[in-house]
Amino acid sequence: MDGSLKFTAENKVLIQGITNSLGATYAPLMQAYGTQVVAGVEAGHRGERVGDIPVFDLVEHALEAVTDIDTTVIFSPPYEVLDAALEAIAAGIRQIILISSGVPPLDMVRLLRKAEQAETLIVGSDSPGIIIPGEVLLGTHPAEFYTPGNIGIISRSGTLTYEVALQLTQAGLGQSIAVSIGSDRVVGSSFQQWLQMLEEDEQTEAIVLIGSIGGDGEEVAARYVQEAIDKPVVAYLAGRTVPRDQPMGHAGAVIAPRLSGWEEAIGTPESKIAAFKAANIPLANRPSEIPGLLQNHLAQTLAEIAS
Residue at a domain's end among 123, 157, 192: 123
> Going edge to edge, which strands form the sheet with 148-155?
136-139, 129-132, 175-180, 148-155, 206-212, 233-238, 283-284
Boundary residue ending a domain (106, 123, 140): 123
What is the side-by-side order of every strand in the sheet holding 53-56? 49-50, 53-56, 36-41, 12-16, 71-74, 95-98, 121-123
For residues 119 and 133, state if they share a domain: no
> Which range marks the domain in which residue 237 is found?
129-306
Active site residue 250: yes
Q: Give a yes or no: residue 3 inside a domain.
A: no
Would residue 4 count as lying in a domain? no
pLDDT in tens, 187-211: 999 999 999 999 999 999 999 999 9
**Contacts by 237-246, CB closer than 8 A, 24 or more apart:** 237/211, 237/212, 237/213, 237/269, 237/272, 237/273, 237/276, 237/283, 238/156, 238/157, 238/160, 238/210, 238/211, 238/212, 238/213, 239/212, 239/213, 239/214, 239/269, 240/213, 240/269, 242/213, 244/268
In the chain (307 residues long), the average pLDDT of successive 10-residue segments reads 72 97 97 98 97 97 96 98 98 97 97 97 97 98 98 96 97 98 94 96 96 91 97 92 54 42 66 95 96 91 72
What's the pLDDT tens digit per position in 263-285? Answer: 446 778 899 999 999 999 999 99
**6 lies in some domain:** no
Asked whether residue 187 falls in the same domain as residue 224, the answer is yes
| Distances 232 to 278, 281, 291, 299 between C-alpha atoms, Å | 15, 8, 13, 10
Q: At what angle do helices 191-200 and 217-228 cross, to 10 degrees?
A: 30
For residues 188 and 180, the answer to whether their CB atoms sit within 8 Å is no
Q: Which residue among 45, 141, 250, 297 is the active-site one?
A: 250
**Domain match, 113 and 179 both:** no
